[in-house]
Amino acid sequence: MDHKKVMEKRVERNVEYYVKKIVKVIAIIILGGLLFLLANYVLMRLWNWLMPDIFGLGTITFWQALGILVMAKIIFGFGGGGKNKGGSHHKVKHRSSHKCSSMRRDFDEWKHYDQFWKEEGEEAFKAYVEKIKNENHDTN
């Protein structure tokens, strides 16, 4: 008899566990759906509040806002931007900074441009213009 009661308790716990899981999943699905509909409603209200005044566009219905939301999700993606495929974020950051190091080094040299222009730039430019004028006189 004890074996039968132990089995009944085990089955009862398993059923209770799975029922709780199913109820949680259903609640999450319903909550997610409600949040999606709320986001759609907020999008519709924001559109109808801002777009007609700013851009002269017409107002939209709830279903048109749903279409815009779905279209934006298709075009711009469904999230998941936090996942980095192909390695860690640190490695990607290191590779990108390594690629641009020569450009960054060249860019650092531009901080001396103003001083160069004051000392040599204007005179060098005037000499260049004179050289061009002389070449044009020689060809004419």
Per-residue pLDDT tens digits for 33-88: 999 999 999 999 999 999 999 989 899 999 999 999 889 988 988 776 655 555 55
Same domain, yes or no: 73 and 93: no
Answer for the pair 24, 42: CB distance below 8 angstroms, yes or no: no
Same domain, yes or no: 15 and 48: yes
Same domain, yes or no: 44 and 103: no
Exposure class string for 121-131: b at 16+ Cβ within 10 A, else e: eeeeeeeeeee
Q: Is residue 105 part of a domain?
A: yes
Chain length of the chain: 140
> pTM for the whole thing?
0.48
Sign of torsion, CA 68 72 74 78?
negative
End-to-end CA distance of the chain: 120
Domain end (from 77, 97, 124): 77
Angle separating helix axes 2-55 and 62-76, nearest 10 degrees: 100
**More confident of the two residues 27 and 109:** 27
> Looking at the 3D structure of the chain, how many domains does it have?
2
pLDDT band at 104 (very low <50, low <70, confident <90, very high): low
Same domain, yes or no: 50 and 99: no
Q: Is residue 83 part of a domain?
A: no
Which 8-state DSSP code applies to residue 1? Answer: -
Same domain, yes or no: 68 and 114: no
Structure confidence by residue, pLDDT tens digits, 107-133: 777 777 777 777 787 788 888 888 888
Q: Is residue 46 part of a domain?
A: yes
Q: Is residue 36 part of a domain?
A: yes
For residue 45, the enclosing domain spans 1-77
Same domain, yes or no: 73 and 39: yes
CA quadruple 70, 75, 79, 85: dihedral, nearest 10: 150
Domain end (from 24, 42, 77): 77
